[in-house]
Structure 1
Amino acid sequence: MTIGKSAAIQPPTARTDYRRHTRHPMKAAIIINPFSGKRQAPLVRRLAERIAADLGVALSVKTISGPRHGVELTRAAVSDGAERVLCAGGDGSLNAVATGLLGTTVPLGIVPMGSGNGYSRSLGIPQGAEDALRVALTGKPHPMDVGFLNDQPFLGTAGIGFDARVARRFDRTKGRGMIGYLRIILEEIASARTIHVQVTANGQSTETDLLMLVFCNSREFGNGARISPASCPDDGVAELKLVSKPPLRSLPLAFLYLYTNRADRLRYIHSIPTTEAIVAQDGTIAHLDGEPVPIGHRVRFRLALHQLLVVVP
Structure 2
Amino acid sequence: MKAQKSILLVINPIAGDTDKKPIIEAFKNHVRTNGNTPLVYETTGENDNEAIANYIDDHDVKRVLISGGDGTIRQVADGLKERSINIGLLPSGSANGLASNFLIPENLEDQLDIALGDTFIDLDVLDINGYTSLHIADLGVNAKLIKNYEKSEIRGKLGYFLQAIPTLLNSDYPFEVEIFANGKSHKEEGVLIAIANANKFGTGANINPTGKMDDGLFEVLIFKNLSIKGIIQTFYDDAPLDPDFVTVISSKEATIKCTKPIAFQIDGEFIGEQSLVEAKMTPHKLRIAIP
Instruction: Output the TM-score relative to the length of structure 1.
Output: 0.85
Partner in structure 1 of residue 24 of structure 2: 45
Bigger strand share: 2
Aligned 1:129-168 pairs, distance under 5 A = 129-168=108-147
Tell me how far apart the structure 1 counterparts of residues 242 and 47 of structure 2 sit (CA, whole Å).
Answer: 40
- Percent of aligned pairs with the same amino acid: 25
CA RMSD of superposed structures (Å):
2.0
Tell me how far apart the structure 1 counterparts of residues 211 and 85 of structure 2 sit (CA, whole Å).
Answer: 24
Residue 295 of structure 1, CA deviation: 5.6
- Give the direction of change, closer, same or farther, for the CA distance of 1:263–1:193 in structure 2 (3 Å limit): farther
Partner in structure 2 of residue 301 of structure 1: 279
Tell me how far apart the structure 1 counterparts of residues 141 and 116 of structure 2 sit (CA, whole Å).
Answer: 37
Partner in structure 2 of residue 14 of structure 1: none
Q: Residue 209 of structure 1 aligns to a residue in which SS?
A: strand
Partner in structure 2 of residue 7 of structure 1: none
Aligned 1:156-305 pairs, distance under 5 A = 156-194=135-173, 195-246=175-226, 250-251=227-228, 253-261=229-237, 262=239, 264-265=241-242, 267-281=244-258, 282-294=260-272, 296-305=274-283
Residue 126 of structure 1, CA deviation: 2.3
Tell me how far apart the structure 2 counterparts of residues 108 and 77 of structure 1 sit (CA, whole Å).
Answer: 15
Residue 257 of structure 1 contacts residue 266 of structure 1 at CA under 8 Å; is this kept in 2? Answer: no
Q: Write the letter of the residue equivalent to 2:20.
A: A
Residue 156 of structure 1 contacts residue 218 of structure 1 at CA under 8 Å; is this kept in 2? Answer: yes
Aligned 1:39-78 pairs, distance under 5 A = 39-66=18-45, 69-78=47-56
Deviates more, 1:107-116 or 1:45-54: 107-116
Residue 74 of structure 1 contacts residue 85 of structure 1 at CA under 8 Å; is this kept in 2? Answer: no
Q: Residue 16 of structure 2 aligns to a residue in which SS?
A: coil
Residue 304 of structure 1, CA deviation: 2.5
Residue 122 of structure 1 contacts residue 220 of structure 1 at CA under 8 Å; is this kept in 2? Answer: yes
- Give the direction of change, closer, same or farther, for the CA distance of 1:293–1:263 in structure 2 (3 Å limit): farther
Residue 230 of structure 2 contacts residue 241 of structure 2 at CA under 8 Å; is this kept in 1? Answer: no
Tell me how far apart the structure 1 counterparts of residues 169 and 196 of structure 2 sit (CA, whole Å).
Answer: 25
Where does structure 1 lack aligned partners over 5 or more consecutive residues? 1-19
Tell me how far apart the structure 2 counterparts of residues 186 and 254 of structure 1 sit (CA, whole Å).
Answer: 18
Tell me how far apart the structure 2 counterparts of residues 192 and 150 of structure 1 sit (CA, whole Å).
Answer: 24
Tell me how far apart the structure 2 counterparts of residues 38 and 266 of structure 1 sit (CA, whole Å).
Answer: 38
Tell me how far apart the structure 2 counterparts of residues 106 and 295 of structure 1 sit (CA, whole Å).
Answer: 34
Q: Write the letter of the residue equivalent to 2:182.
A: N
Residue 77 of structure 1 contacts residue 85 of structure 1 at CA under 8 Å; is this kept in 2? Answer: no
- Give the direction of change, closer, same or farther, for the CA distance of 1:285–1:79 in structure 2 (3 Å limit): farther
Residue 305 of structure 1, CA deviation: 4.9
Q: Residue 133 of structure 1 aligns to a residue in which SS?
A: helix
Deviates more, 1:145-154 or 1:182-191: 182-191
Tell me how far apart the structure 2 counterparts of residues 121 and 284 of structure 1 sit (CA, whole Å).
Answer: 27
Q: Deviations over 1:198-222 (max 9, x none)?
A: 1111111112221111010001121
Residue 284 of structure 1, CA deviation: 4.8
Q: Write the letter of the residue equivalent to 2:181.
A: A
Deviates more, 1:279-288 or 1:90-99: 279-288
Residue 285 of structure 1 contacts residue 295 of structure 1 at CA under 8 Å; is this kept in 2? Answer: yes
- Give the direction of change, closer, same or farther, for the CA distance of 1:130–1:208 in structure 2 (3 Å limit): same
Instruction: Output the TM-score relative to the length of structure 2.
Output: 0.91
Deviates more, 1:112-121 or 1:176-185: 176-185
- Give the direction of change, closer, same or farther, for the CA distance of 1:92–1:305 in structure 2 (3 Å limit): same
- Give the direction of change, closer, same or farther, for the CA distance of 1:138–1:224 in structure 2 (3 Å limit): same
Tell me how far apart the structure 2 counterparts of residues 72 and 129 of structure 1 sit (CA, whole Å).
Answer: 28
Q: Deviations over 1:6-44 (max 9, x none)?
A: xxxxxxxxxxxxxx6x4x111111011111234230000
Q: Write the letter of the residue equivalent to 1:105.
A: S
Partner in structure 1 of residue 82 of structure 2: 103
Partner in structure 2 of residue 312 of structure 1: 290
Q: Write the letter of the residue equivalent to 2:246.
A: I
Structure 1 consecutive aligned stretches of length 4 or more whose deviation exceeds 4 Å = none
